[in-house]
């Protein structure tokens, strides 16, 4: 049934067949999350870090309507430069496929495609969530529903405070999605190691995390898990600087009436503009750190399933 839709890179296919560790990687972060050429450099370095930590990288995107699991270097370069790549979440997938367009996948759609291929671990920067003011706007990322239903572990650096982090955690609790701190009791806020909120559980090793994941899925407790891995200390941003930048970005989005799928890319671009290069450096560092932890988790999970 998936034939004709799904295209798995030979290296990834081989790893799947042999039960080797694989890490899925999203592509909206390449097309809409970082400027060229740093986006391409980062995506390629992330793949290298995954390999160095014992797993096979599989960057996920939709190219000319095909769901791709694993991209070549040339395909990553193309995605990083092309201007007509559509930000693709769950509801966009059928149309990007039918129209044979290029789509960069969000956390939600990367999870969907990873699960179709049998990839269980995925690394990104930050997840989408409940936006500030969602009481009025209803702006809640489809990422959260996907985490509720799709069996993929998502390693991230928490959520940016462009979101209402408290409401995002409440939503995840209602949907039964575990939020786990990797070496921390604090839920990180992307650029900073703390958000003022705690995680449900703390784990201190990839093995401990793999055991919990295996138990979850063995028991048919469907859905994902948020692995919150804080930005390394030396790349953490100053709390006041980033808070002011985000407040200004949220205010501008509000004044301009930005909504729907434009909301998150607008806020990300604004924050970057206001903080200059500083936020980009911290963004890149935390993605590398997530790729490393995801690879270790995928390796530990593969070992448990031998
Ligand atoms: N948050 C970030 N960086 C990102 C995104 C979110 O800090 O790049 C991207 C991810 O692809 C995420 C998507 O899945 O934005 C969420 O968009 P929306 O809020 O429209 O669901
Ligand atoms: Mn939204």
Q: Which domains does the chain have, with CATH numbers?
A: 6-304 (3.40.1790.10)
List, for residues 239-293, the tens digit of each pLDDT value: 999 999 999 999 999 999 999 999 999 999 999 999 987 889 999 999 999 999 9
Instruction: Tell the residue number behind the tokens 């699960």, with chain if given.
Output: 115
Q: How far is CA 61 from CA 47, 109, 192, in A?
A: 15, 9, 29
28 CA from centroid of ligand 1 (Å)? 7
260 CA from centroid of ligand 2 (Å)? 5
Q: What is the distance of C-alpha 237 from the center of its chain?
A: 20
Dist. CA 103–CA 140, nearest whole Å: 21
Please report the beta strands in the chain, taking only residues with DSSP state E, as ranges in sequence order: 6-8, 22-25, 56-63, 66-69, 86-88, 103-105, 121-123, 153-156, 179-182, 201-203, 225-228
Predicted local distance difference test score (pLDDT) of residue 230: 98
Q: 160 CB under 6 A from ligand 1?
A: yes
Looking at the DSSP assignment, which residues form a beta bridge with residue 203? 182
Q: 125 CB under 6 A from ligand 1?
A: yes
Ligand 1 atom closest to Cα of residue 141 = 21
Q: 106 CB under 6 A from ligand 1?
A: yes
Torsion of the alpha carbons at 197, 180, 241 and 234, rounded to the nearest 10: 130
Predicted local distance difference test score (pLDDT) of residue 127: 98
The Cα angle at residue 135 between residues 133 and 140, in degrees rounded to 5: 75
Predicted local distance difference test score (pLDDT) of residue 74: 98
Q: 129 CB under 6 A from ligand 1?
A: no
Nearest CA owner, ligand 1 atom 21: 141
Catalytic residue IDs = 26, 160
131 CA from centroid of ligand 2 (Å)? 7
Q: What is the DSSP letter of 247?
A: H
Predicted local distance difference test score (pLDDT) of residue 276: 81
Predicted local distance difference test score (pLDDT) of residue 76: 98
Predicted local distance difference test score (pLDDT) of residue 277: 78
Positions in the chain whose pLDDT score sits under 70: none
Predicted local distance difference test score (pLDDT) of residue 1: 79
């Amino acid at each position: 049934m998936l034939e004709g839709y799904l295209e798995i890179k030979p290296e990834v296919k081989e790893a799947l067949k042999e039960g080797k560790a694989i890490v899925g990687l999203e592509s909206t972060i390449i097309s809409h999350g970082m400027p060229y050429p740093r986006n391409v450099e980062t995506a390629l370095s992330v793949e290298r870090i995954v390999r160095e930590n014992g797993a096979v990288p599989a960057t996920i995107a939709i190219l000319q309507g095909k769901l791709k699991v694993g991209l070549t270097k040339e395909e990553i370069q193309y995605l990083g430069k092309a201007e007509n790549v559509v930000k693709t979440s769950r509801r966009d997938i059928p149309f990007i496929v039918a129209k044979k367009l290029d789509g960069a996948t969000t956390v939600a759609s990367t999870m969907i495609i990873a699960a179709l291929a049998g990839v269980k671990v995925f690394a990104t920067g930050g997840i989408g969530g409940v936006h500030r003011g969602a009481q009025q706007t209803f702006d809640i990322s489809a990422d959260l529903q996907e985490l509720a239903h799709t069996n993929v572990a998502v390693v991230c650096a928490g959520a940016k405070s462009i979101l209402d982090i408290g409401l995002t955690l409440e939503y995840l609790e209602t949907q039964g999605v575990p939020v786990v701190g990797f070496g921390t009791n604090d839920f990180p806020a992307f650029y900073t190691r703390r958000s003022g909120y705690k995680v449900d559980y703390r784990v201190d090793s990839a093995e401990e995390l793999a055991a919990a994941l295996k138990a979850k899925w063995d028991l048919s407790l469907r859905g994902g898990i948020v692995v919150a891995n804080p930005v390394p200390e030396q790349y953490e941003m100053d709390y006041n600087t980033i808070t002011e930048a985000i407040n200004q970005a949220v205010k501008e989005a509000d004044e301009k009436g930005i909504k729907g799928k434009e909301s998150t890319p607008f806020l990300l671009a604004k924050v970057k503009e206001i903080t200059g290069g500083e936020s980009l450096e911290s963004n890149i560092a935390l993605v590398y750190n997530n790729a490393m932890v995801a690879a270790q988790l995928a390796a530990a999970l593969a070992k448990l399933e031998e």
